[in-house]
A and B are shown apart, each in its own frame.
Chain A
Amino acid sequence: MAITQSHDLHRRRLGRNVGVAVTLVAFIVLVFGLTVAKVQRGGTIEAFDHSFRPALADRYEERSAP
């Protein structure tokens, strides 16, 4: 049997679910935006592999010097 009666409770519950959904989506969008902003600026990001890093090479040479 389908539930046909609607109660104020259902309205509130729907409102709450929609509210939580919107909040979560907003949070995801914000974190994604933050990620893009941080990557674009790239200040503290240094590739740890796949690329040559002169800083590491210098350190290696210092260590291996007699």
Chain B
Amino acid sequence: MTDINASGTQAGEAGFGDYVALLKPRVMSLVVFTAAVGLLLAPGALHPVEALAAIVFIALGAGASGALNMWWDADIDRVMRRTARRPVPSGRVEAGEALGLGMALSGIAVVMLWLATNAVAAGLLAFTIFFYAVVYSMWLKRATPQNIVIGGAAGAFPPLVGWAAVTGGVALEPLLMFGLIFMWTPPHFWALALFMKDDYHNARVPMLTVTHGRKATRRAILVYTALLVPVAVGLGFTSVGGPVYLASAVVLNAAFLRGAWAIWARDEATAEADKYLVEKKFFRLSLWYLFAHFGALLVQAAANPWIGG
């Protein structure tokens, strides 16, 4: 009767939700959205079931790389407040399980995307998983303050994969969508690092705030935001852009640039005094910023038949 009375050792047995949490569902939702936009805006069309399958397997690939990241980073996740409750550091899922799930789902996602669409999309997805799990998590994250800059590429691939799923190749438009997410990632995460002060420091992750100081981080946010603006607005002049997108992009980028300027103009004492109000506002805005750009692309595509775009 001992194995039934399991209140002690097995209290940590994982529920289904814990395995879902390994796949980083919140990141996945962003991946689904941006991949869907890439897929819907590409010239040509997939059968609706093929399109659905493509998005499901792109999301699954992203989730698999999330699980691999949680396997590799369990030791630093344990130290950081923001991540301490993740399934592996909290002990609900064993690290080996996360590895197994990540590897299995990676294989399934890539092969199924290949069968559902084409080899280019599948290859790009495989590269995305490799980039996030190996290049970012294993090589860069703990080695260089540029971790976020280069690692951001992993999050930027989905619209490219979505586009390739339809066309079997890449073009300027999805490359600019890639550039939009790529350039957006550093200011987004550095703003987070500014107000999640001690986390990265305790975990010894060489975030820019830790290695170059907070003043340099504020400057870097402004520089990257300034570089982001031409990419975001430039997308409006390609075949997927138009007046609706351009108007949204101009407003959003003006607001984003203003926020970055405000962060740069402040010193640490002022930020400390109002509990990083401006940084938190900028971080929230950055979430809306990305969502709204891709939303505007969709609205533009829907509006094109009426405005003759």
Using a CB–CB cutoff of 8 Å, the interface residues on chain A facing chain B are 3, 5, 7-9, 12-13, 15-16, 18-20, 30-31, 33-34, 36-38, 40-41
In the complex, chain A residues whose CB is within 8 Å of the CB of B16: 15-16, 18-20
Known contacts being A15-B16, A18-B16, is A9 close to B50, with CB within 8 Å? no
Cα distance A19–B19 in the bound complex, in angstroms: 10
Stretch in contact with the other chain, from B2-10, B148-156, B243-251: B2-10
Q: In chain B between 122 and 154, which residues have their CB closer than 8 angstroms to a CB of chain A?
A: none
Contact of B13 among A9, A33, A37 (CB under 8 A): A9
Count of residues in B whose CB is under 8 Å from the partner chain? 22
Are the CB atoms of A30 and B53 closer together than 8 Å?
yes
Cα distance A13–B13 in the bound complex, in angstroms: 8
Q: Which 3 A-B pairs have the closest CB atoms?
A: A19-B16, A37-B49, A12-B15
Are the CB atoms of A3 and B53 closer together than 8 Å?
no
B47 within 8 A of A: yes
Known contacts being A5-B4, A7-B6, A41-B47, is A34 close to B116, with CB within 8 Å? yes
Are the CB atoms of A33 and B49 closer together than 8 Å?
yes
**Per DSSP, are chain A's interface residues mostly helix, strand or loop, or mixed?**
helix
Cα distance A15–B17 in the bound complex, in angstroms: 9
Given contacts A19-B16, A30-B52, A30-B53, 12 further A-B contacts (CB under 8 A): A3-B4, A16-B19, A30-B56, A31-B112, A33-B49, A33-B53, A34-B50, A34-B53, A34-B115, A34-B116, A37-B48, A41-B47
Cα distance A36–B14 in the bound complex, in angstroms: 36
Cα distance A26–B50 in the bound complex, in angstroms: 15
Q: In chain B between 1 and 34, which residues have their CB closer than 8 angstroms to a CB of chain A?
A: 4, 6-7, 10-11, 13-17, 19-20
A9 vs chain B, min Cβ distance (A): 5
